[in-house]
Amino acid sequence: MLPFMSPLAGKIIWLIGVIGWFVIRYPHDRRSRRTAKTRRDVGPREFFSLAVSTLGLGIVPAIYVFAGLPRFADYPFSIFQAIAGAAVFGFALWLFYRTHKDLGRNWSVTLEVRDEHKLVTNGVYNRVRHPMYSAFWLWALAQAIVLPNWFAGLAGLVGFGTLFFLRVGNEEKMMADTFGDEYRDYMKRTARIIPGIY
């Protein structure tokens, strides 16, 4: 018999994680709005990606957490899920914090190149080109572990996965157009999201 506990514990872990995420991002979001941009991609594809990702990582799980829907997808919540989910969430938040520190002024929600954009290749960017996306994948994974509801749990992986695969190729092309061989060399010695693997 697995030791089960109330799904409320999973919901609380999810809420703490999301609040932590907002606290980390807030100052960067404010600064980002104030910095001048040279190039900006907010076409329909970017808009769609951001919408699907927000739905899967935010809106669908929030409906589950606050309204308990959809009920048909509920399953029992084990204590191992609570422990593993909290650990993955913690790791995601740490990595998210680090990526914001390392990217600094070069960060933005959509694909943009700033007037004084610098290519960051240090810190968590040393071995992986998209550590912030790694952090989002970890968040989506934590959501799947910590919410005992198939629909709300998996929505994050589907939502963020859509954004990731629609965006990552464009982002790398934009960076290569802007930084040329400097970025192409950087691509040769780094992985996309998992050090040494992908």
Is 194 an interacting residue with respect to ligand SAH (CB under 6 A)? no
Is 111 an interacting residue with respect to ligand SAH (CB under 6 A)? yes
Residue 152: name the closest of 59, 90, 80, 53 by CA.
59
Residue 13: name the closest of 148, 159, 131 by CA.
148
Please check whether residue 87 is in contact with residue 9, taking contact to mean a CB–CB distance below 8 angstroms. Answer: no
Q: What mask, x for binding ligand SAH by CB under 6 A, covers residues 112 to 151?
A: xx-----xx----x----xxxx------------------
CB of residue 174 to ligand SAH, shortest distance in Å: 7
Backbone angles phi, psi at 95, to 5 degrees: -65, -40
The Cβ of residue 163 has, within 10 Å, a number of other Cβ atoms equal to 21
Q: With CB under 6 A as the contact rule, which of the stretches 9-17, 51-59, 107-115, 147-155 interacts with ligand SAH?
A: 107-115
Is 57 an interacting residue with respect to ligand SAH (CB under 6 A)? no
CB of residue 117 to ligand SAH, shortest distance in Å: 6
Specify the residue, 43 or 76, whose C-beta has the smaller distance to ligand SAH: 43
CB of residue 24 to ligand SAH, shortest distance in Å: 14
Residue 192: CB partners within 8 Å, gap ≥ 6? Answer: 128, 129, 130, 133, 168, 198
